[in-house]
Amino acid sequence: MEGTEAVAKGDGDGDGSDRPWQSYHTVYTTAKAGMEGVDKEKVQRVVYEMSKGSKYFQNEERKEAFINQKIQNLRIQCAKLAQADLAHYRKVADRRIVELEASRDLSRIWLHVDMDAFYAAVETLSNPTLQGKPMAVGSMSMISTANYEARKFGVRAAMPGFIARKLCPELIFVPTDFKKYTYYSDLTRKVFRIYDPNFIAGSLDEAYLDITEVIKERNVKGEEIAQELRAGVYEETGLTCSAGVAPNRLLAKVCSDINKPNGQYVLPNDRMAVMTFVSSLPIRKIGGIGKVTEHILKGVFEINTCEQILEKSSYLYALFSQSTAEFFCSVGLGLGQTDSPQVRSRKSISNERTFSATEDEVLLHKKLVELAEMLSADMQKEGLCGRTLTLKLKTASFEVRTRAVTLQKYISSTEDILKHAKKLLKAELPISVRLMGLRVSQFNGEKCSATPDPTQKTITNFITSGDVNRNCSSFPDVADGDFVGDAKTNLSVGNQQTSQLDWRDPFVGNYLSDGDYESCVLQKNDGIEEVQTPSKDATSSHHSGFTEALGSTSFQEQFEGINVLNESKLLELNSCSQETTMLWLNDYKCSLCGIELPPSFIEERLEHSDFHLAEKLQKEESRIHQPCVPSGSRAQKDGITTQSKSKKQKLSQKEGKFTPIDSFFVKK
């Protein structure tokens, strides 16, 4: 607790103290299951001495200074709060607490199951000679997990191996084997499905199960289901697990940690029992409250338990956002999610690995190959293909860099992933790296499920407008999603013959860059359907008309060589140029290339915007020096009929007068 007090006082550097390590806070001093009797001060001192002067130490100092400054700023804001302000926020907090209490649901029973030291237990099962010996899965650079014998010395997951060896000289290291861990994880999930087919997997070694219906059907208690499930897992795998039963998922997870290893804890579905349970519960036990949040709550508000959160709720509503304050109050009331979440499509899939910092390009490429193989296997297992590939690097100085590329086609194979990942890595070399990761996002099913902006105009608005004489600004709102995929859409052109167009997804393959719709087929049963093309001048001189109709997106289209034959020819819409305004969709995704950058990545966003601006200027310059081929010469090359050319020449004579795109589709 002395270290916590040092942070609260802002003495993060520890200068002038006889025990500077007491102000050096890391996750390694946090007690996990099996670490109850550990000498925390000894661990803290060893971590401090082994880390001092390293890049990690410098990074931790920067974070510590940032946290201390934030605590200091919040204290100043607290001191400025007048009694009238506190009275107001007290009313706000009390009203919201009453509303949250009214939402309490005690009708469901949730079970959280957590495997005991999973990776280490699997390795011990494979090699019984490790039984009873302090052992950790990982290497001298980083530990994935440690068995309970090693935890008695203060060794824990996410700790560098060289520090762990200092704490426990007899520690045995075993390399990771994720194929093995995945195999045993699948075995445990077979047992979970017996009790809840729709269980929620938290990771390879934990899951949430709604056992309400099983309890009702079998007329048993939650305690019996927990015992039966744990026995089933042991029988299936030879591994032990711990379980927690509670009215919601948040409390079930807390309960599963109480009697670890190989134990269980049941919290009754009773409000008084829940409030008694959380009253003395340390805030760090709650999922979602980590080291930083814990230090802020303790350093600013002197909040140590969940019960104290409710006592200081007026300050929380005064200094934090409403959503953050409500989360804290929900924790103080012991509220959590009770409903089974709806199945949502995966947005991304990733793999990353930590290793000793290295500049060796051969070793880095080897790590990249391993990541690409694992990522490809995971994607093919789930039947996923994505367009955006992101490379994540953590340098030796603990700086995190992400570089992404959005492709024209969807990929999932190791070869495709590796091909583009190598290019991203090559751009960063030479570099000293200690962590590398690959992520694929923007899957081929995303666009169909996304809700389009109803005000966003597209080229389909023009084609489907129906009346060739209609004003350009009055086209109906047609969502892009209506024309995505392989489905055929009936279109009425000029209030005449209804035709069918098979629209290719405009974001697939080469269509992203050149704007061609090569699968657009116009069918007619009685003869040839002819399409007229305006001259270059007639189209480009009225670019402002397109801008007005498209709202935030402007197009400068030049359709050339359009010739549609009966049920056999392709309708080619060749774009000479296309200019689009860059937007951040949902404040996350670039509207031009689909790359994903969170709002916090300010510098990366500016760099990305500069890239598109430079690209746009380069295209404009190239158009000045290399103008588009006149549509007349292109038409002769494609063998357009004499009548089509005469109509096109008539349209070319109407310079200075706007020609709506509907006039392209005029019948004989």
As beta bridge partners, residue 110 has: 210, 246
Which residues have C-beta within 8 Å of that of residue 364, sequence separation ≥ 6? 358, 425, 429, 433, 436
- Residue 340 DSSP label: P
* Phi then psi dihedrals of residue 202, to 5 deg: -80, -35
Structure tokens at 252: 């079930």
Cα 21–26–29 angle (5° rounding)?
Answer: 85
As beta bridge partners, residue 354 has: 435
Contact (Cβ atoms closer than 8 angstroms) between residue 652 and residue 537 = yes
Contact (Cβ atoms closer than 8 angstroms) between residue 94 and residue 332 = no
Q: What is the dihedral of CA 536, 537, 543, 544, to 10 degrees?
A: -160
DSSP string for residues in 100-164: HHHT---S--EEEEEETTHHHHHHHHH-GGGTTS-EEEE-SS-EEEE-HHHHTTT--TT--HHHH
State the CB neighbour count (10 A cutoff) for residue 639. 9
* Residue 465 to residue 354: CA distance in whole angstroms: 56
206 catalytic per annotation: yes
- Residue 479 DSSP label: -
Q: What is the 3-state secondary structure (H, E, C) of 605-659?
A: HHHHHHHHHHHHHHHHHHHHHCCCCCHHHHHHHHCCCHHHHHHHHHHHCCCCCCC
Select which of 206, 294, 529, 596 is catalytic.
Answer: 206
* Residue 664 to residue 646: CA distance in whole angstroms: 14
Contact (Cβ atoms closer than 8 angstroms) between residue 505 and residue 511 = yes
* Phi then psi dihedrals of residue 283, to 5 deg: -65, -30
* Residue 127 to residue 129: CA distance in whole angstroms: 5
Structure tokens at 38: 């550990």
Which residues have C-beta within 8 Å of that of residue 662, sequence separation ≥ 6? 462, 463, 465, 466, 467, 468, 469, 470, 494
* Residue 220 to residue 223: CA distance in whole angstroms: 8
DSSP string for residues in 13-36: S-TT-S-GGGG---GGGS--TT-T
Say which residue the tokens 């990776």 belong to. Answer: 119
* Residue 541 to residue 656: CA distance in whole angstroms: 7
As beta bridge partners, residue 203 has: 206
Contact (Cβ atoms closer than 8 angstroms) between residue 439 and residue 368 = no
As beta bridge partners, residue 436 has: 353, 393
Residues counted in the chain: 668
State the CB neighbour count (10 A cutoff) for residue 459. 21
Catalytic residues: 206
